[in-house]
Amino acid sequence: MTGELSLNINVKEPRWDQSTFIGRAKHFFTVTDPRNILLTNSQLERARRIIHDYRQGIVMPELTEDELWRAKYIYDSAFHPDTGEKMILIGRMSAQVPMNMTITGCMMTFYKTTPAVVFWQWINQSFNAIVNYTNRSGDAPISVSQLGTAYVSATTGAVATALGLNSLTKRVTPLIGRFVPFAAVAAANCINIPLMRQRELKHGIPVTDENGQRLGESTQAAQQAIAQVVVSRILMAAPGMAIPPFIMNMLERKSFLKRFPWMNAPIQVGLVGICLVFATPLCCALFPQKSCISVSRLEHDVQAKIQETGPGLEQVYFNKGL
């Protein structure tokens, strides 16, 4: 049944102009909205049905444009853009703020002892492994052995970095010691993301023309996509791991935390959460989700294939992942 709503709305693309940072920021503030993790399966399925039907030219009766866009963002928050499969709850971008604020806050609270460092870095890398796999680019499967290698390597790298820096900071001020978790997280991101997406580096990710027509797979596009994600993730963690240490260092000199030391972790988690509410969407918006790359930068065989199907094409597009 066709309603009054126009069928000319392109729900395959974000609502806002993605060629501008402001447009991308508005998009990701919606995608990373923590309230989306509270949606029920029936609400997710209803959104999926609305979007699927609309793409087929079917409009639910009395559906408004705002409701259509709301359904699109609910759909995007829970279903993978390439595979269409429902993503693991804690791997969704809407879970980034509540999960990261809890883990990061605890990492920055319990960083002085070796067992605490090992435990929280392990928890953090376990979470990162799920996020990196859930938000990978393309529709290619990844083997259990590849998952295991990426997970173990990233966890080992993060723990080794944290323990090594902890030993070095024993001779410096306590404030500097508070930045050890951030250094470990940055190092782990440089290991975890490329390893978790190693299949893309070996076999490439899908590249398309402007209309979404698949033209082939490119490893050069994969390298660009993964580099962008690594930069975004490190910068995403920076405010929440760089600002609270100064505040907590100041608070620890006051009588309040001396009287109520158990408030240390909740305050730190809250401070990280405030930072992440803004840092998560803004850093996701640094690079377009639908990134482009010049055809001349692709592998020669991919270039040749593209010239056969689309002579004169200068740029191709790919989903960089998150």
Question: What is the per-residue pLDDT for 20?
Answer: 92
Confidence (pLDDT) at 1: 41
Per domain, the residue ranges of the chain are 21-86, 93-206+214-287
Q: What is the pLDDT of residue 24?
A: 92
pLDDT value at position 138?
57
Average pLDDT by stretches of 10, the chain with 322 residues: 68 86 91 88 90 85 87 86 80 86 82 80 82 67 72 77 71 67 77 78 83 83 90 86 79 74 80 87 88 84 79 82 74
Distance CA 182, CA 237 (A): 7
Which one, of 196, 189, 201, lies nearest residue 230 by Cα?
189
- Give me the pLDDT at residue 125, please: 78
Q: Kindly list the distances between the CA atom of residue 19 and the CA atoms of 27, 48, 287, in Å, as whole numbers in the listed order.
A: 12, 26, 9
Measured CA to CA, the distance from residue 57 to residue 7 in angstroms comes to 6
**Within 13 Å of residue 238, how many CA atoms lie on the same side as its CB?**
9
pTM above 0.85, yes or no: no
Q: Which pLDDT value is given to residue 139?
A: 57
